[in-house]
Amino acid sequence: MEKNIGKKFIEFTKYDYSTYDSDQEVGIASPSIDMPYDVSKTMIDLPDPALINLNNTNIKELIEERRSVRHYSKNSLNLQELSYLLWCTQGVKEIINRTPTYKITLRTVPSAGARHPLETVLLINNVKELESGLYRYIASKHKLIQLTDNSNISVIIANACLKQSFVAKSSVAFIWVADIYKTIWRYKERSYRYALLDAGHVCQNLYLAAESIDSGVCAVAAYDDNEINRILGLDGENQFVVYIATIGKKIKSNL
């Protein structure tokens, strides 16, 4: 394999190479807010995230207590908590029509140009009121759709994460998918940098939100890209997994 690919990535995503017009600049309509999904699937309603009772809202303490947690108790997350976590990481606060062909969303996390290229897929292992399986969060509607109820999906996903078994033992694994054209439409090749930055913003929100409900998170960047994309039915070029994080209730004696 050729060396210094990372250096070339930094070089060729500099503004110096953005010499062509973006699709926004030539008047092409902005892509849809949500990546296309099967509208025939039943939507699963999520509770109002504002109704949750939090254990801690002191931001200083949440930041100080934040750490990666790979071992979880057997206690389940509930649907209210999952709704809250999804809202904190990708919640849509407002949809704004800039022009008839240019639409943006304002969310609970920052994103370059408010493009928000990330979609959330959920591996559900231990959540009250939801059967285990793979789900997708439809951010614009704050609802879920189930992608598969394959009883072995947690092991399949954990194996794709280089056999990290805690992925299958978590309550939920958040799998963030970059639908990169949402950002390329405006920012061209620079978009690949921005998608990585966006993923960091989202995951940090998950860490802090989890602390407020006595839960722990572990970010995962070690996974087989081709395999995880294949499992999720992604082409690996226009849509691809960019980050993963597991979450579960803390074990009080966990070190």
- 139 in Cβ contact with 152 (< 8 Å): no
Residue 194 neighbours by CB under 8 Å, 6+ apart: 111, 112, 113, 115, 117, 183, 187
Q: Considering the domain boundaries, does residue 255 fall inside one?
A: no
CATH number, domain containing residue 192? 3.40.109.10
Place of tokens 């509770």: 47
Tell me, yes or no, whether 190 lies in a domain: yes
Whether 187 is covered by a domain: the verdict is yes
Domain residues for the domain of 170 are: 5-249
3-state secondary structure of 230: helix
- The answer to whether position 128 is within a domain reads yes
- The answer to whether residue 172 is domain-embedded is yes
Q: What is the CA radius of gyration of the chain?
A: 18
Count of domains forming the chain: 1
How does pLDDT run along the chain (255 residues), one tens digit per residue?
678 999 999 999 999 988 999 999 999 999 999 999 999 999 999 999 999 999 999 999 999 999 999 999 999 999 999 999 999 999 999 999 998 889 999 999 999 999 999 999 999 999 999 999 999 999 999 999 999 999 999 999 999 999 999 999 999 999 999 999 999 999 999 999 999 999 999 999 999 999 999 999 999 999 999 999 999 999 999 999 999 999 999 998 644
Question: Would you give the end-to-end CA distance of the chain in angstroms?
Answer: 39
Sign of CA dihedral 218, 72, 122, 31: negative
Q: Give kind and range of the element (H or E) at residue 67.
A: none
**Alpha carbon distance 129, 240 (integer Å):** 29
What pLDDT sits at residue 18? 86
254 in any annotated domain = no
120 domain residue, yes or no: yes
Q: What pLDDT score does 255 carry?
A: 45
Q: Is residue 125 part of a domain?
A: yes
Cα separation of 210 and 191, whole Å?
Answer: 28
